């Protein structure tokens, strides 16, 4: 199966074991069809098609697929089953340490696996024992204790102390620079915090003044309402008097008009 974007990938970045580390050519049935490397943590679909767990998860995520790459059987992370038989076979494969720099035929075997960096590590063993060896291999690249922010170097485990001694001044300088930058950021944050607190104090004072004015208005509100009612009462009385006067004038006019009409009829 030729998967887009994954065919031909080698090493653990592709999901499986790097075939270049194996002491003999692996059988095809132990190669992941996605990364073409030896299976690493193999899982299978319900129909028995096997892949590296990481490869299959990447296939389902990055390629927006929902089924097995080969049979298209609907598949999810929960439905992946471990391929234990395949896993036992892959863990039994013979391989060499990733820190070995030359094929076994071109290296001189040493009783001490901690060979010099120029020779490479001479360890050989089962794939299932590789991680245990790498955890103590003198030639295994290890991160600097100062972390990637200070130092991105990954010296061999056996040379870590020398690295710390050789780069002590550089580490100290870099640490000092970062520390100074952090102190400046802290000072800026403290200044901003002080400014915000000052603004908060001003807002508190303004809020207190507003609350005091609201309370004063509420205290004066009853008298204001009484004053408004008296003014409205006087205004209504004037309007009523005007209305009565208008009605009387209208009735008189109507009566006069009726009288005139009667005279005309006579």
Q: What CATH number does the domain containing 97 carry? A: 3.30.40.10
Is 51 contained in some domain?
yes
In whole numbers, what is the pLDDT of the chain averaged over residues? 77
The pLDDT-based confidence of 257 (bands split at 50, 70, 90) is: low
Confidence (pTM): 0.53
pLDDT at 255 > cutoff 60: no
pLDDT, mean of residues 116-137: 86
Whether 236 maps to a domain, the answer reads: no
Looking at residue 168, what is its pLDDT?
A: 92
* The predicted structure's pLDDT at residue 62: 73
How many independent structural domains does the chain possess? 1
Question: Three-state secondary structure along the chain?
Answer: CCCCCCCCCCCHHHCCECHHHECCCCCHHHECCCCCCECCCEEECCCCCEEEHHHHHHHHHHCCCCECCCCCCECCCCCCEECHHHHHHHHCCEEECCCCCCCHHHCCCCCCCCCCCCCCCCCEEEHHHHHHHHCCCCCCECCCCCCCCCCCCCCEHHHHHHHHHHCHHHHHHHHHHHHHHHHHHHHHHHHHHHHHHHHHHHHHHHHHHHHHHHHHHHHHHHHHHHHHHHHHHHHHHHHHHHHHHHHHHHHHHHHHHHHHHHHHHC
Q: Does 76 fall in a domain? A: yes
Residue 232 forms part of a structural domain: no
Is 130 inside any structural domain?
yes
Higher pLDDT, 262 or 39: 39
141-200 residue pLDDT tens: 999 999 888 999 999 999 999 999 999 999 999 999 999 999 999 999 999 999 999 999
Residue range(s) defining the domain that contains residue 79: 12-139
Q: What is the pLDDT of residue 61?
A: 82
């Amino acid at each position: 199966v030729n998967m887009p974007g994954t065919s031909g990938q080698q090493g653990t970045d592709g999901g499986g074991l790097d075939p270049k580390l194996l002491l003999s050519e692996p059988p095809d049935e132990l190669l992941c069809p996605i990364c073409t490397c030896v299976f690493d943590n193999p899982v299978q679909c319900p129909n028995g098609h096997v892949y590296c767990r990481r490869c299959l998860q990447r296939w389902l995520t990055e390629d927006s697929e929902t089924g097995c790459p080969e049979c298209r059987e609907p598949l999810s992370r929960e439905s992946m089953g471990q391929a234990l038989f395949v896993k036992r076979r892959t863990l039994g494969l013979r391989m060499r340490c990733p820190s070995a720099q030359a094929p076994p035929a071109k290296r001189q075997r040493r009783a001490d696996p901690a060979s010099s960096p120029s020779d490479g590590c001479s360890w050989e063993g089962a794939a299932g024992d590789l991680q245990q060896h790498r955890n103590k291999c003198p030639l295994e690249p290890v991160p600097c204790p100062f972390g990637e922010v200070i130092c991105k170097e990954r010296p061999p485990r056996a040379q870590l102390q020398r690295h710390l001694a050789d780069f002590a001044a550089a580490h100290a300088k870099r640490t000092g620079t970062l520390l100074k930058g952090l102190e400046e950021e802290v000072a800026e944050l403290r200044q901003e915090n002080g400014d915000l607190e000052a603004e908060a104090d001003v807002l508190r004072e303004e809020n207190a003044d507003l609350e005091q004015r609201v309370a004063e208005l509420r205290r004066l509100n009853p008298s204001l309402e009484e004053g408004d009612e008296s003014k409205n009462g006087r205004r209504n009385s004037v309007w009523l008097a005007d209305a009565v006067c208008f009605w009387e004038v209208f009735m008189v006019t109507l009566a006069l008009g009726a009288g005139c009409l009667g005279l005309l009829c006579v």
